[in-house]
Chains A and B, each alone.
Chain A
Amino acid sequence: MKKQPFALHYHLMLLPGIALLILFSIVPMFGITIAFQNFKPGLGFWRSEWVGLDNFRYLFELPDSRTIFFNTIYIAVLKILAGLGVPVFFALLLNEVRSVLFKRSVQTIVYLPHFLSWVILAGIISDLLSMDGLMNQILGWLGIEPIMFLGSNQWFPGIIVVSDVWKEFGFGTIVYLAALTGINPALYEAAAIDGASRLQQLRYITLPSLKPTIILLATLSLGNVLNAGFDQIFNLYNPLVYDSGDIIDTYVYRAGLLQVQYGLATAVGLLKSVISFVLIILSYVMASKFANYRIF
Chain B
Amino acid sequence: MVRNISFMSRTADVMIIAILVISSLLCIFPIWYTIAVSFSDKSAVAGGMVSLWPVDFTLSSYKKILQEQAFFTAFGVSLKRVFLGGIINFVVCAMMAYPLSRTPKQFRPRNVYMWFIVFTMLFSGGLIPWFVTIKSYGLLDTIWALVLPSAVPVFNVILLVNYFRSIPKDMDEAGMMDGAGPWYMLLKIYLPLSVPVLATITLFSIVGHWNSFFDGLILMNKQEHYPLQTYIQQLVVQINTDNMTTEELRQMAQLSNKTLNAAKIVISMLPILVVYPFLQRFFIHGIMLGSVKE
Contact = CB atoms under 8 A, between A and B. Distances in A.
Contacts of B292: 175, 178-179, 213
Nearest to A122: B237
Contacts of A34: 128-129, 132
Nearest to B266: A120
A280 interface: yes
Which of B37, B124, B154, B280: most chain A Cβ within 10 A? B124
Contact of B288 (A24, A120, A178): A178
B148 A252 contact: no
B67 interface: no
Contact of A130 (B114, B118, B253): B253
Given A97-B16, A106-B24, A273-B125, A31 B130 contact: yes
Given A131-B250, A273-B123, A119 B284 contact: no
B95 A13 contact: yes
A24 B131 CA distance: 10
A236 B258 CA distance: 17
Interface string B206-249: 01001111100010000000000110110011110111001001
A288 interface: no
Contacts of A273: 123-126
Contact of B207 (A17, A115, A231, A239): A115
A44 B211 CA distance: 32
A253 B212 CA distance: 16
Interface residues of B, number: 110
A contact patch SS: helix
Given A9-B181, A28-B124, A115 B27 contact: no
Which of A94, A127, A236: most chain B Cβ within 10 A? A127
Interface string B107-120: 11100011011101
B195 interface: no
A166 B27 contact: yes
A6 B265 contact: no
Contact of A90 (B23, B148, B232, B237): B23
A128 B30 contact: yes
A175 B109 CA distance: 32
A93 B24 CA distance: 13
A208 to B, nearest CB: 17
Nearest to B214: A231
Nearest to A266: B128
Contact of B284 (A32, A174, A277): A174
Contacts of A183: none
Which of B107, B128, B243, B284: most chain A Cβ within 10 A? B128
B128 to A, nearest CB: 4
A284 B48 CA distance: 50
Contacts of A178: 288, 292
Contacts of B291: 175
B73 interface: no
Given A4-B108, A239-B241, A112 B132 contact: no
Contacts of A109: 24, 27-28
A31 B132 contact: yes
A234 B229 CA distance: 14
A32 B16 contact: no
Given A6-B106, A257-B128, 8 more contacts: A14-B95, A29-B125, A32-B125, A115-B272, A123-B34, A137-B48, A235-B233, A238-B241
Interface of A: 4, 6-7, 9-11, 13-14, 16-18, 20-21, 23-32, 34, 41, 44, 90, 93-94, 96-97, 102, 105-113, 115-128, 130-132, 134, 137, 148, 151, 166, 170, 174-175, 178-179, 197-198, 213, 230-231, 234-236, 238-240, 249, 252-253, 256-257, 262, 265-266, 269-270, 272-273, 277, 280-281, 295-296
Interface of B: 5, 8-9, 12-13, 16-17, 19-21, 23-24, 26-28, 30-31, 33-34, 37, 46, 48, 51, 91-93, 95-96, 98-100, 102, 106-109, 113-114, 116-118, 120, 122-134, 136-137, 148-152, 154, 157-158, 161-162, 181-183, 186, 207, 210-214, 218, 229-230, 232-233, 236-239, 241-243, 246, 249-250, 253-254, 258, 261-262, 265, 268-269, 272-273, 276-277, 280, 284, 287-288, 291-292
7 closest A-B pairs by beta carbon, nearest first, are A31-B129, A269-B126, A117-B211, A10-B99, A28-B125, A25-B120, A17-B96
